[in-house]
Amino acid sequence: MYKIESIEGGVCAATGFFADGVSAGLKPDGAKDMAFIYSDTLCEIASVFTTNKMTAAPIRHFRRYGRFESNFVVINAKNANAMTGDAGMECIDDVLAVASARFREIHNPIMSSTGVIGVPLPIEKIKVGIRKFNLRVKNSNAAAAAIMTTDRFAKQTAVRVTLEDGSSFHIGAIAKGAGMINPAMATMLCFITTDANCNSEAMQAVLNNVVQRTFNAISVDGDTSTNDTVLLLSNKQSHCYDATAFQEALEQVMLYLAKAMVRDGEGASKLVTYDITGALNDAEAQVAAKALSTSLLMKTALFGEDPNWGRVASTIGASGIACDEKRLRIAFDDVCVYDNGVISFDETMERRAAEVMQRNAFTISCDIGLGKGHFQAYGCDLGYEYVKINADYRT
């Protein structure tokens, strides 16, 4: 038996981890725009990156290391260092050389970036930011705020896992992401730290597994970025580990942050869970759930709080999975609007379904009626604000 508790401290909750955010002048209003995460001992690393083939320079730079240990990550907002060619890679070498010269205690430093694509990294400003870092600070709030772009709120969480023998380890994280969020983990960064005694192979296996049900199950706009990154760093300082507890705790941390990204979706006001059951298999359930969470017609109907269940049926039909209108069941929370070919949708039902849609969070359940396949995806509505934010993101 083990116990998982939410605790304070974010990405600094695990023993031996430090983090802070500073202002390097990248954001125009003097807001924090650069962050670091530092461990006072070396960490093993697991990672998941974007599937976008126009991979940003920081990801290509990370991959150049091969297998390695590190204890320092520097992150900048406002510039993705993507589509910047060899010059983008040289910028990272330059930044990390400055960091290594200033902080003798760091090894194999990692850089991560988010922001606009196709603009050279403002390297002098970034060097200024590096010089402002104080590696003895534990300020997860500031780090979480610094990596925000269009985010409306900072995202961090942490848990303590207490094992049966009384020993405990911690997992903490910060994340950013509000738009360009899609199954393939778009424009999101997440940095997870742990003092669990877990090596990189074990962490990588757990991370690959959990990411499918968390960051790869959310969608804000169906677009996939050049920079998406999840890094999981373990400094093992707790000396304890339990595989089952670790996976459950990591899933709790990642699901919390994934849902926070959807809640913070550009212009979003609702968190909708698409719960697909009865598909031929889990893969088909996933296809249908993601089709719903990505559909523009669904998203605008959510925004209008219009219980247009016909769009749910049509989107499932368009997704390509095996389905049959006579076997389908659709419900908005506990209000069943369509059941096995029978439209149970009169004015009373419409009013009740519309009431469900006014909630900040609710579930659209679809039983495909053909098998045992199950998947949950998470999406949001799309309103005027999304258009406004994305019509002139760069200005």
Cite the active site residues: 187
Q: ∠ at Cα 141 (135, 145), nearest 5°?
A: 100
Residue 42 token pair: 């070396």
Strand partners, 379: 219, 272
Residue 74 phi, psi (nearest 5): -110, 135
What is the binding site for its own copies (CB under 8 A)? 51-55, 80, 82-86, 116-120, 179-180, 184, 186, 221-226, 295-297, 300-301, 303-304, 306, 308-311, 313-318, 320-326, 338, 341-343, 345, 382-384, 386-388, 390-395
Nearest to 37 by CA among 139, 148, 121: 139
Nearest to 119 by CA among 226, 195, 17: 226
What angle do the packed helices 296-303 and 309-318 form, to 10 degrees? Answer: 170
Residue whose CB is less far from its own copies, 21 or 379: 379
Residue whose CB is less far from its own copies, 17 or 303: 303
Burial class (CB in 10 A: 0-12, 13-18, 19+), 198: buried
What is the chain's Cα-based Rg?
A: 22
Residue 159 token pair: 């848990």
Residue whose CB is less far from its own copies, 76 or 308: 308
Residue whose CB is less far from its own copies, 182 or 235: 182
Residue 146 token pair: 């610094």
Nearest to 278 by CA among 311, 337, 323: 323
Least Å from the CB of residue 342 to its own copies: 8
Rounded to whole angstroms, the Cα distance separating 216 from 237 reads: 30
Q: Report how far apart the first and last C-alpha atoms of the chain are (Å, whole number).
A: 53
- AA identity, residue 302: L
Using DSSP bridges, classify how beta strands 155-163 and 168-176 pair: parallel, antiparallel or unpaired: antiparallel
Least Å from the CB of residue 281 to its own copies: 16
Rounded to whole angstroms, the Cα distance separating 363 from 327 reads: 20
Least Å from the CB of residue 57 to its own copies: 10
Do 238 and 170 form a contact (C-beta atoms < 8 A)? yes
Residue 165 token pair: 């023998």
Residue 290 token pair: 């993601």
| Torsion sign (Cα): 73, 78, 79, 80 | positive
- AA identity, residue 101: A
- In the numeric block, the tokens 């029978």 are attached to 342
3-class DSSP state for residue 177? Answer: coil
